[in-house]
Homo-oligomer: A and B are copies of this chain.
Amino acid sequence: MPELRKDPIIDRWVIISTERGKRPVFFIEEAPSTKTAICPLCPGNEYMTPPEVFAIRTPGSSPNGPGWHTRVVPNKFPALRIEGDLDKEGIGIFDKMNGIGAHEVIIETPNHGETIADMDLKTIQNIFIAYKERVTDLYKDKRFKYIMIFKNHGSVAGASLDHSHSQLIALPIVPRRVLEEINGGLTYYKFKDRCIFCDMINQELDDNERVVYQNELFIALSPFASRFPFEIWILPKKHESNFITHSQSESYFFLAECMSVLMKKYVRLLNAPPYNFIFHMAPKNESELSHFHWHIEIIPRLTKMAGFEWGTGFYINPTPPEEATIYLKETEV
């Protein structure tokens, strides 16, 4: 059983995957090639994954066979286990709990080699609809407090399979970065009675120095204090604390359009870089927060993270976000 352990000094939880325990020899050996002969995420190979928990399919096709457009399956090597109770335990000054959670893989397309930059808008929209469906379903489980949706694209960014996919991890705790943002937003809200993210969006629209792209419903910004070159945040223009509150799938179409434009810009400007994106949203029990605004953080992996950043939570960014914005805006897609 994996364990969740808490750093006794700061409020940081770590998953210790006791079952996947890596012996030193595995780190020394060359990483295995990601180009396996048979891709477990391709149509026809559905038997290679655990049974699907959600799929958007061609009418008439059967579960766990071909005919899907988007398919969600449990991770075959999960960081957390779905079965069990949330036993918490103190060991002197240390705290740990059972590594209970869900870990799923969202297979974004049946076409091996197709990236988000290549996909049509309907395909990208389906990815967001799949996220929403899975989050809504997993939040019925009382053990889960937060669901992290993220994508690792390219092996430098941590992807172990080529076939385009994203992941979600349902957690029994709220991760500290999200808590910090919620607390920061609350402090501002108490003072100003306004959402800090809404204020930031308004100021960015006025300044127009860091707005990379916008459509009717979404805005894409280079953050004022960007940690990484060409980092972009996507936010809904209208205040919303959770992305699953949309009852209409139309808004996911606008989100798909925005994501598509940004990914095409990355491909043209930065030569298809590895990247990560991460959703930040309100935790389950606080889905209607006035002081928090959901968003997606996109980080192209262009620079190596050095000791300075690890040790301090303090970043050095060699590309001013205003310059990054000019380059991104000038890139035609």
The reply to whether A318 and B17 form a contact with Cβ atoms under 8 Å apart is yes
Q: Is A319 part of the contact surface with B, judged by Cβ < 8 Å?
A: yes
- Minimum CB–CB distance from A268 to chain B (whole Å) comes to 10
**1/0 contact string of A180-214 vs chain B (CB within 8 Å):** 11001100100000001101100100010000000
The reply to whether A14 and B227 form a contact with Cβ atoms under 8 Å apart is yes
The reply to whether B14 and A315 form a contact with Cβ atoms under 8 Å apart is yes
Chain A interface mostly? mixed
Task: Give bound CA distance, A230 to B227, whole Å.
Answer: 27
Of the stretches A59-67, A169-177, A240-248, A256-264, the one at the interface is: A169-177
The reply to whether A22 and B312 form a contact with Cβ atoms under 8 Å apart is no
Task: Give bound CA distance, A150 to B276, whole Å.
Answer: 26
The reply to whether B312 and A277 form a contact with Cβ atoms under 8 Å apart is no
**1/0 contact string of A77-110 vs chain B (CB within 8 Å):** 0010000000000011110000000000000000
Chain B residues, Cβ within 8 Å of A22? 229, 318-319
Q: Is A112 part of the contact surface with B, judged by Cβ < 8 Å?
A: no
Q: A17-B318, A318-B17, A319-B21 are in contact. Are A8 and B310 (CB under 8 A)?
A: no
Q: Is A119 part of the contact surface with B, judged by Cβ < 8 Å?
A: no
Q: A15-B317, A318-B17 are in contact. Are A169 and B308 (CB under 8 A)?
A: yes
Q: Is A133 part of the contact surface with B, judged by Cβ < 8 Å?
A: no
For A318, the closest partner residue in chain B by CB is B22
The reply to whether A223 and B317 form a contact with Cβ atoms under 8 Å apart is no
The reply to whether B196 and A27 form a contact with Cβ atoms under 8 Å apart is no
Contact of A311 among B3, B18, B278, B304 (CB under 8 A): B278
- Minimum CB–CB distance from A263 to chain B (whole Å) comes to 15
The reply to whether A158 and B304 form a contact with Cβ atoms under 8 Å apart is yes
Q: Within A216-231, which residues are at the interface with B (CB < 8 Å)?
A: 223-227, 229-230
Chain B residues, Cβ within 8 Å of A23? 319, 323, 327
The reply to whether A305 and B305 form a contact with Cβ atoms under 8 Å apart is yes
Chain B residues, Cβ within 8 Å of A9? 180-181, 184-185, 188, 196-197
The reply to whether A314 and B21 form a contact with Cβ atoms under 8 Å apart is no
Q: Within A1-53, which residues are at the interface with B (CB < 8 Å)?
A: 3, 5-18, 20-24, 27-28
Please give the count of copies of this chain that the complex contains.
2
Contact of A307 among B196, B273, B277 (CB under 8 A): B277
Q: Is A333 part of the contact surface with B, judged by Cβ < 8 Å?
A: no
The reply to whether B276 and A203 form a contact with Cβ atoms under 8 Å apart is no
Contact of A310 among B176, B299, B303, B316 (CB under 8 A): B299
**Residue from A3, A227, A273, A303 with most neighbouring chain B CB atoms (10 Å):** A227
Q: A271-B28, A276-B311 are in contact. Are A181 and B10 (CB under 8 A)?
A: yes
The reply to whether A14 and B225 form a contact with Cβ atoms under 8 Å apart is yes
Q: Is A56 part of the contact surface with B, judged by Cβ < 8 Å?
A: no
Chain B residues, Cβ within 8 Å of A310? 276, 278, 297, 299
The reply to whether B7 and A223 form a contact with Cβ atoms under 8 Å apart is yes
**Pairs A–B under 8 Å by Cβ, sample size 14:** A9-B185, A9-B188, A10-B181, A12-B313, A13-B314, A14-B317, A27-B302, A27-B303, A157-B306, A157-B307, A175-B314, A276-B311, A299-B310, A305-B305
